[in-house]
């Protein structure tokens, strides 16, 4: 065995090949957001990169909101899940640029949000549409488009509070940023 291989192979004999990276992505599919436990970190689009650096798996994540208290929790969950899957000393680091946008939430994530009772973000996140604030949000309970905003902010920074005028149920709307 050459010296170079010793450095890049961890105790489980992983060498960071395509198969390892793919397996890591599979593990990440199972790491759920602590606030919305039906969507994974992959669904949310906060995993920006998975690579093999100096014999360790390295995962780069981006925070959803600057002050999101779930960010550190998510980093720990990712580390724990990867360790459990046999990756030794995985590293998780943060990257701010490019800034996270709800456009990165995948189709599966949007469907899962809706099934959980949270209206997924509507439209894309350009500044003009955000400033005007005019969005037609569909009620995740009954599907009616006759809804109104109660508050710009809901139970967490990433959500706004809405009410359906058809079924009268209040619901969270995952804001577009």
Asked if 68 touches other proteins (CB under 8 A), the answer is yes
Residues 20-49 that bind other proteins (CB under 8 A): none
Asked if 157 touches other proteins (CB under 8 A), the answer is yes
Per DSSP, 151 falls in state E
Among 65, 106, 122, 142, which residue interacts with other proteins (rule: CB under 8 A)?
65
- The position carrying tokens 């390295």 is 58
Main-chain dihedrals φ then ψ at residue 98, nearest 5 degrees: -75, 150
Cα angle 86, 87, 91; round to 5? 150
Burial call 136-155: b when 16+ CB within 10 Å, e when fewer: ebbbbbeeeeebeeeeeebe
In the bound state with other proteins, the residue whose beta carbon lies nearer, of 101 and 106, is 101
In the bound state with other proteins, the residue whose beta carbon lies nearer, of 48 and 56, is 48
Asked if 175 touches other proteins (CB under 8 A), the answer is yes
**Residue ranges binding other proteins (CB under 8 A):** 63, 65-69, 96-101, 125, 127, 130-131, 133, 150-157, 161, 175, 177
């Amino acid at each position: 065995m050459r010296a170079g291989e010793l450095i890049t192979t961890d105790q489980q004999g992983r060498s960071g090949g395509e198969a390892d990276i793919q397996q890591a992505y599979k593990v990440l599919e199972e790491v759920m957001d602590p606030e919305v436990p039906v969507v994974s970190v992959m669904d949310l689009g906060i995993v920006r990169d998975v690579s093999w650096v100096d014999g360790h798996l390295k995962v780069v994540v981006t925070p959803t909101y600057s002050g999101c208290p779930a960010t550190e929790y998510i980093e720990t969950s990712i580390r724990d899940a990867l360790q459990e899957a046999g990756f030794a000393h995985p590293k998780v680091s943060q990257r701010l640029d490019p800034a996270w946008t709800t456009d990165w939430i995948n189709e599966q994530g949007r469907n899962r949000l809706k099934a959980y009772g949270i209206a997924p973000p509507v439209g894309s996140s350009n500044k003009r549409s955000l400033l005007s604030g005019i969005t037609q949000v569909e009620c995740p309970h009954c599907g009616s488009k006759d809804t109104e905003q109660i508050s710009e902010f809901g139970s967490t920074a990433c959500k706004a509070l809405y009410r359906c005028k058809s079924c009268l149920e209040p619901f969270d709307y995952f804001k577009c940023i």
